[in-house]
Structure 1
């Protein structure tokens, strides 16, 4: 399809000419559709810019695509938002498939009628398969029909097909309806891009008269393809047939649209002052701090003076991009060494965006047009951000913040020290929205906390703030940016409050509380390796929730009595195929070794619902959290469960390994796994059997606790899921999250029934959900009969200290009265009265 011939395009319209970047349409201006030019038409007829074939005409007649004799595909698009006219005012003079000559009249337009009903008459000439060609402008600022406009030059001769034929045999096409829930948003778009990269061909995605290369994540998302829309895939290259089939399969195989569990953007809840002098926001990372407010703005650029040497600017941009890539690779390596899958995913996403050809080509074209590298990069980023923001998808809008992060990083590399900022230690940083690289710099400057006017709980900044222990509030509203810098404020992230005018007593109280908390934490950490016994001698095992061997080593160092929950999903996510049996065995053995002589509870894989694997496509479900997940997936895919059970049976010493089954809802599910465990042990010649436990995270399991305990060795309550299933509230719903409280008396009753049922068969009960890490809840859990608490590693010392301060008999005496209360708030208030904190 692509031969070596250069082609000069003549102007298809008469009028002023200007670059795509100046077009008042984010998709065209960003270069998502491809490079090109815009013309503000003064005539009423569109002419062919060269000889070729009309390969597509929009149903609404406002646009058509011409394939030139060297294989270039030109989109000729009349006006902006003219698709809304549904063809009114446009008269076709040719048919799809027609062969046309240079200058031939193609389309007549009623300028007055169209101008009255569309956004603009500005018309576009766009090269949609620009990966094969360079566009060289030859026009002046004004053209007439037939005058030279652009020159199309093949990029590299050795990239062209050996055959100079222009027949369709060099390209294969196929169509499919998009089965992904929500359409081609970030996750399925990334899978489509990843699949295309596995073949030696060039592939494009087509929607009506628009298309995007499949090597561009931004380009794919920019098409805003909806669920059940029909699209086409075109492939050119040696293995085009195989690539086409694989890409069509990706489109037709639905995936969940959620990835990891995460709440919707906090900005969906409009912030409002709850009282005078207080801004109300959403907690992204907990904590209570006081300090002077410091505004942090993005890097601002002085006006571009122009007259730059393009080669020098291109070289400067390449150097800055290389530095940022190197920095991100270093951060990625450190995240991998720490087994921090969340940070690793952030930095992988940044690398993918940094290599996006749409982004890089837009910046390069702007530099060649005379802009400085700084301004070219800035404008190309902002244009792509606008594309994502205009799609109306809040999750994609948050990904625009990742692009702005790359803007900051590359500009810092281009500007040097002039772009860095200094803040006083102890400052509370306020910004419209921070980026991950902002946060990493700020965490090294000893700032006290962070607050943002926008932002969301799904943002990468929120994840990093929690990992760095920096209190952080988001969604505080535009009023945040009006606060005078230097004003002392109190950031109470635990209660979602920014107090703007704290008096001296409040400030001193916060400072004292912060100091006391530090001293208390130091003392608790010093005692963390000692046993956790109540005042009357009841031993409570305080274990840790971990997701890797590195986490386990840290937990052991901080005094964990064992691992109360190993989430084996860490082995299965962020990869293209499932881990094999030996890889699993080795990973689980590393966790066992890291814990010395302590027991390790290993939960079988819990995916489905809110956690999806790209290589294990599951059907789209109206309510995925109520669908195929946990042990139900093991029943549907017994090969996956068998492989994991075989790996677990080969651990040494096996008696320190305990297996935990997620999402069990009836006794038969437990019995089926126990039988299979016995069969596999027999096949492997293993006489020992690891303890087998059941997670209590659905109400039916709590109600059947006595029957389950008859066949299980232990029960472990997952309070996070048990809360949402009992209260019928999505625990990740931004508007309901505060109400999904596991201290609700209904939850306490289910936990009481679980402990009572286990006691009948002398089984022990643990808690591995978030409630175990809440020191206010510790006496309640002990009073219910829980003897094991699995908590986050930083809280081991705190929870052990809390246990030592309690009398178990007193807890058992008081707790039944809590079950009679009417709400979680009343339970919490009663807990504060009976067992005050600190």
Structure 2
């Protein structure tokens, strides 16, 4: 999004006419290196189409889409004309906000400026401003609006007195994220005040995150000594942001309309508090414009409203904002309506229906722009329009994507395209629709229960059980019922509830949690399919490689592993549930390959490489033969590796390298040991914290850790302390919103803000490992200072707990995930007991590539020489002090990387339990001298591609 800085503002400009001002604006953009000279013509062409005057003496000149070829860099320049300019539409302009945008970023500037347009005196202040800071302040100060929407209302609550209703309203605000527990406590200490007519009021400014208003109404009127109770308003106050809301509430009470709120539904409550009267006629219209109601379509809407014989108001259906005049350009633009949002128009009078129909028709026709229909209720993220033409992947050419589950597969493609769900948007019989929805939900739950019983266990069963809980979520049910109550069909109401919840999930900063939105959509499609009577296409009887947009967990659970040789998806990342389940089932998988894979023909032969993250369509005979040889060799290696899984990890010449398992759950420890793991090299302890509604106590943690320690039977356990934060939030440990949570308060940084939580975890680990080897690892350490803070707690506990009641063979180390930690390894090695290198995060931080990025993730390769040099520095520093080094990232199971890591001196490789036998087998294929040669060769390369090419050539 474009932003405005002081250096972007030019004061004291002069021009005799608007053309001269526009020429100066074009020159300013050119002098800043933002555009070439041709952009000037684009500015004039835009003015010829429509004036860019906004109001309050502000114009925002910008080029046409055709002139974007002249934009070298996105930017903005503000020119102040104190004497003013007569614009070509007759308005007086004092400020030009001139934009060079390579896309439609000027719309963001427009939305930022709309709040300025109705403020009295702004034009005069802009003309008189004598500093860049003053102009920036006038243009940038966005007022905060109080929130009021369906999520802040609590209607028909079973309460017995006004305080109980007030607390219900406060709790709803907390659930909506508007307030914290301190606000609820403050409301509990107050007595609601009567407003008359059965309505009461309470408020507090304590613990307010977002100013907001809740209304809680009882199931039935409550008798009270000071009068009847039909509703309690609960206000989260912050500055004067709530003033407009209170003014509308006051007007509603003065008009006598407050009494009707007791029997009203959500839509009616929001309409009344938005300023719509009970006698007003209303009509809804969906915004179809690709970029929402920006200046041009907003102007045409305003013109349509002004042509009517009576005043028309408009508001957004989503939310409780004020109904504003549809004849005011600044008010209409200020709505910030985006494509797909619904506008509610209202008017009163004999000709109201005709007037409303006229403006609604103007909106549906696109307001002067070409528009596409909005396909309500359809899963746009999981389907491709039938008319979409996808460029085919070139034959016999490797296509890079994300390696999600190791293995090699050869077979014909079966492309499973998500079906289109066609259904009516509206329905007349709400009772019948609710019954249909309830029946579909019951059938969906029954299906999931059946899948859970027939699933192969482990993670598959756990995730399907989670799906069952999702489907039984009362909030989803309530949201769908409310939609039906507003006249929607069961299908439309259900998908609206699912889509809203999934989009909220996708907005989370934590990539792992955001990817789980696919689970929610998977659950939603199950019920939608039942409502629409749609079943997925039947797969072929012969073995195949399944190609989908994204594979949901229930899809994986239904897979016939005897026939599905591999998975290929257009979307998803290595941490998505589809990838996790593919690994659990041992199915090779490549994900995030892009939409083009959905254009593959059924039956086309594919070579799918789950280790390198590549797929080759229509391979040549020579390439296929090479792949078949690799596949046969791999199958033989897997058999031999499993047979020798209990042998120690050693190279061909006997050099010892311990092979351990990465675990996300203590319940899987016994399986890891059975697969030959020589210990646990990474136990992600956050699973315990995520499984509880509040921080698990000492006894709970001791029991969990002891389960793993006992299953290891004397083998070492490396447990990573709690690794959560802004990117992996816990509901009971709120973290302030961060622009970049991957670089924010997480890992050891967050743990040290609540040392009592860290102390409890350390005490639990020490207690659970009595008499057994324990290695404790601190995540996201950046330097020695953070390690020392945690070590002080650790050392104090060693003194407090009797030796007979705790682990005595205990080491305290750090994860090398942050480049600074690797660079400072010599100072750390003096005090830590060991290092474990998390190559996943180390790679993304070193290369500045989010490993979950849909376009860049394939480039986040741990064999990049920059990453390898950091590993080398870490190993050298550790060995100089007699300390050991492990690798617990995905690189540890990469067949090409294993000899390089051993050659760099790594002492331990920790991989997924399923990979343990193969990593041990890989170690037996080379000796230490060969490994050291490969390490030197890799370090001498310039890119990760060059590293892999050089290693393949050996």
Q: TM-score range by the shorter chain?
A: 0.5 to 0.7
2:882 to 762, 771, 775: 762
The DSSP-based 3-state class of the residue aligned with 2:728 is: coil
Give me the whole-angstrom Cα distance separating, in 2, the residues matched to 1:307 and 1:760: 75
For 1:356, the equivalent position in structure 2 comes to: 477
Deviation at 1:774, TM superposition (A): 1.2
Report 1:43-54 matches (<5 A): none
Q: Does 2:901 match 1:781? A: yes
Give me the whole-angstrom Cα distance separating, in 1, the residues matched to 2:614 and 2:670: 36
User: Does the CA contact (< 8 Å) of 2:464 and 2:553 recur in 1?
Assistant: no
The DSSP-based 3-state class of the residue aligned with 1:356 is: helix
Give me the whole-angstrom Cα distance separating, in 2, the residues matched to 1:804 and 1:627: 42
For 1:646, the equivalent position in structure 2 comes to: 763
2:672 to 555, 559, 564: 555
For 1:470, the equivalent position in structure 2 comes to: 587
For 1:800, the equivalent position in structure 2 comes to: 920
The DSSP-based 3-state class of the residue aligned with 1:485 is: coil
Give me the whole-angstrom Cα distance separating, in 2, the residues matched to 1:400 and 1:795: 28
Change (3 A) 1:170 1:587: same
The DSSP-based 3-state class of the residue aligned with 1:449 is: strand
2:681 to 564, 570, 574: 564
Deviation at 1:748, TM superposition (A): 2.1
With 731-740 and 160-169 compared, the bigger mean Cα shift is at 160-169
Report 1:288-303 matches (<5 A): 288-298=408-418
Give me the whole-angstrom Cα distance separating, in 2, the residues matched to 1:267 and 1:447: 22
What TM-score does the superposition give when structure 2 sets the normalisation length?
0.56
Deviation at 1:416, TM superposition (A): 8.8
For 2:191, the equivalent position in structure 1 comes to: none
1:543 to 651, 655, 660: 660
With 665-674 and 491-500 compared, the bigger mean Cα shift is at 491-500
User: Does the CA contact (< 8 Å) of 1:425 and 1:448 recur in 2?
Assistant: no
Deviation at 1:475, TM superposition (A): 5.6
Report 1:480-519 matches (<5 A): 480-492=597-609, 498-519=615-636
Deviation at 1:701, TM superposition (A): 2.4
1:530 to 647, 656, 667: 647
Deviation at 1:726, TM superposition (A): 2.6
Give me the whole-angstrom Cα distance separating, in 2, the residues matched to 1:160 and 1:516: 74
Q: Does 2:402 match 1:283? A: yes
Give me the whole-angstrom Cα distance separating, in 2, the residues matched to 1:639 and 1:203: 43
Report 1:643-722 matches (<5 A): 643-686=760-803, 688=808, 690-722=810-842
Cα shift readout 1:618-673 (whole Å, capped 9, x = no counterpart):
22233322222222223221111111111122124344111112222323333333
Q: Does 2:279 match 1:160? A: no
Give me the whole-angstrom Cα distance separating, in 2, the residues matched to 1:686 and 1:363: 64
Deviation at 1:745, TM superposition (A): 2.0
User: Does the CA contact (< 8 Å) of 1:272 and 1:280 recur in 2?
Assistant: no
Change (3 A) 1:455 1:730: closer
Change (3 A) 1:266 1:510: farther
User: Does the CA contact (< 8 Å) of 1:662 and 1:694 recur in 2?
Assistant: yes
Give me the whole-angstrom Cα distance separating, in 1, the residues matched to 2:739 and 2:758: 25
Change (3 A) 1:341 1:731: farther
Q: Does 2:546 match 1:429? A: yes
Change (3 A) 1:313 1:715: closer
Cα shift readout 1:404-432 (whole Å, capped 9, x = no counterpart):
53455336667999777353231233445
Give me the whole-angstrom Cα distance separating, in 2, the residues matched to 1:307 and 1:677: 63
Give me the whole-angstrom Cα distance separating, in 2, the residues matched to 1:307 and 1:723: 53
Cα shift readout 1:228-255 (whole Å, capped 9, x = no counterpart):
x99xxxxxxxxxxxxxxxxxxxxxxxxx
Q: Does 2:946 match 1:826? A: yes
Deviation at 1:562, TM superposition (A): 0.4
User: Does the CA contact (< 8 Å) of 2:838 and 2:888 recur in 1?
Assistant: yes
Change (3 A) 1:752 1:415: closer
Deviation at 1:382, TM superposition (A): 4.7
Give me the whole-angstrom Cα distance separating, in 2, the residues matched to 1:301 and 1:699: 48
Change (3 A) 1:519 1:671: same
User: Does the CA contact (< 8 Å) of 1:281 and 1:474 recur in 2?
Assistant: no
The DSSP-based 3-state class of the residue aligned with 1:429 is: strand
What TM-score does the superposition give when structure 1 sets the normalisation length?
0.63
Change (3 A) 1:222 1:562: farther
Deviation at 1:541, TM superposition (A): 0.6
Give me the whole-angstrom Cα distance separating, in 1, the residues matched to 2:677 and 2:443: 41
1:174 to 236, 259, 263: 236
Q: Which runs of 5+ in 1 are unaligned?
A: 1-82, 88-125, 134-156, 180-201, 212-219, 231-264, 370-375
1:321 to 433, 441, 445: 441
User: Does the CA contact (< 8 Å) of 1:568 and 1:604 recur in 2?
Assistant: yes
For 2:861, the equivalent position in structure 1 comes to: 741
For 1:618, the equivalent position in structure 2 comes to: 735
User: Does the CA contact (< 8 Å) of 1:663 and 1:698 recur in 2?
Assistant: yes
Cα shift readout 1:106-162 (whole Å, capped 9, x = no counterpart):
xxxxxxxxxxxxxxxxxxxx99989659xxxxxxxxxxxxxxxxxxxxxxx993233
The DSSP-based 3-state class of the residue aligned with 1:781 is: helix
Change (3 A) 1:785 1:297: closer
User: Does the CA contact (< 8 Å) of 1:346 and 1:460 recur in 2?
Assistant: no
The DSSP-based 3-state class of the residue aligned with 1:791 is: strand
Q: Which runs of 5+ in 2 are unaligned?
A: 1-110, 116-149, 158-216, 242-264, 277-315, 322-334, 337-380
Relative CO higher for 1 or 2, CA cutoff 8 Å, sep ≥ 6?
1
Change (3 A) 1:620 1:473: same
Give me the whole-angstrom Cα distance separating, in 2, the residues matched to 1:713 and 1:392: 39
Change (3 A) 1:224 1:493: farther
User: Does the CA contact (< 8 Å) of 1:224 and 1:391 recur in 2?
Assistant: no
Deviation at 1:460, TM superposition (A): 4.3
Give me the whole-angstrom Cα distance separating, in 2, the residues matched to 1:422 and 1:313: 32
The DSSP-based 3-state class of the residue aligned with 1:636 is: coil
Report 1:807-818 matches (<5 A): 807-818=927-938
Give me the whole-angstrom Cα distance separating, in 2, the residues matched to 1:624 and 1:210: 40
Deviation at 1:607, TM superposition (A): 1.5
Deviation at 1:729, TM superposition (A): 3.0
- How many residue pairs align between the two structures? 612
